[in-house]
Chain A
Amino acid sequence: MTAKVFVITSGKGGVGKTTTAANLGAALAVRNKKVLVIDADIGLRNLDVIMGLENRIVFNLVDAIKGVCKPQQAVIKSKKSNNLFLLPASQTDDKNVVTPEEMKELVNKYKAEYNFILIDCPAGIEQGFRNACAAADEAIVVTTPEVSAVRDADRVIGLLAASSLETRMMINRVDRDMVRRGDMLSPQDVIEILGIEQIGMIFRDNDVVISANAGDLVVYNTKSKAGKAFLQIADRICGMDVPIEDLDIGTSLWAKLGKKLRAA
């Protein structure tokens, strides 16, 4: 087994990287893949609470890198799945205590034991970003369909292209009704502007927040739209051909006609 390593990144903060790392990891685990999610946000750890594992942490990523513990000792198994594991960040250190080389070396030590490794990247494009990307084979850039978030995503896509990482977009917090009314960029708009492939989209879904409150993951809520969408993305990553819903097709004829006439 040699794990495929994805970095989950974005330009702007708060767009859903941590949510995606946790749920995509859980979704791949549901599909019988052995998955390690790594919290690379040193100093601002989040993934542990999102996965409901905050009380089980003994060692962390920095301990594993500095030799305080063995790499395997820093890894925690998730509650709901025997296939899903977390390597937590350190909450007390500074991002700069780790170098990209050290990060790469550590991730390589885990590769033989997992099918997938997902690295949750901190916001921004500084040291933390470089650390998180150093060990990755591919990148998933998360954005919401907003001008500021897409703009920052473009910047990150430029940086990833410079380091020749294969990159795909995930568009998060899409509101179908707003897209249909013409009040939100559609995933197709975003993809067209950024000029890169889409791995999937996630609807804005209150269940994401409700699950997060409980330290549970929305993937396990079989009724949730966001949960289903994460499973679809997992299937695409596993090589299945799952079509992505085209919201522009659903846009009401009325709205389209209004737009045409007004433009005339």
Chain B
Amino acid sequence: MFKNFVNKLFGDHAFTNQLAKNRLQMVLIQDRSGLSSQEMDKFRNDLMKVIAIYFETNQANLDIQWERKDGSTALIINTPVMVRRKQIQAVAANQK
């Protein structure tokens, strides 16, 4: 309903610059990391497993970026604040 109204008002213009930006960001993650998108998925899953040893991760949502700044590239991983596990050792053992 609301979407229809918005489209009537503004035209159903797609704002292709946003599309371009998103696609660029995706492809640059591949280029900068050297990982294919399958390998990136695996990297993400492996990271989640490690994080799960220390934190409750029922809604963990990793945002992974390779950011270029002043000539060097930084791997930046963003995630919402998580609650630590009560028994880190025990969980670590269970993971095996």
Contact = CB atoms under 8 A, between A and B. Distances in A.
Chain B interface, >50% SS class: helix
A183 B18 CA distance: 8
B24 A193 contact: yes
Interface size bracket, B side: 20 to 34
A196 B10 CA distance: 34
A195 interface: yes
B47 interface: no
B20 A181 contact: no
- Of B3, B24, B27, B67, chain A has the most CB atoms within 10 Å of the CB of B24
A179 B16 CA distance: 10
Nearest to B6: A261
Interface in A158-176: 158, 161, 164, 167
A186 B28 contact: no
A194 B68 contact: yes
Contact of B18 (A147, A150, A154, A182): A182
Given A151-B27, A154-B32, A195 B69 contact: yes
A183 B68 contact: no
Contacts of A259: 15, 18
Chain A interface, >50% SS class: helix
20 contacts: A146-B20, A147-B20, A147-B24, A151-B27, A151-B28, A151-B31, A161-B71, A164-B71, A182-B15, A182-B18, A183-B17, A184-B17, A186-B17, A189-B21, A193-B21, A193-B24, A196-B68, A254-B10, A262-B3, A262-B15
Interface of B: 3, 6, 9-11, 13, 15-18, 20-21, 23-25, 27-28, 31-32, 67-73
Given A255-B15, A261-B10, 17 more contacts: A146-B20, A147-B27, A150-B24, A151-B24, A151-B31, A154-B31, A155-B31, A161-B72, A179-B17, A181-B13, A183-B16, A189-B17, A189-B21, A194-B68, A195-B67, A259-B18, A262-B3
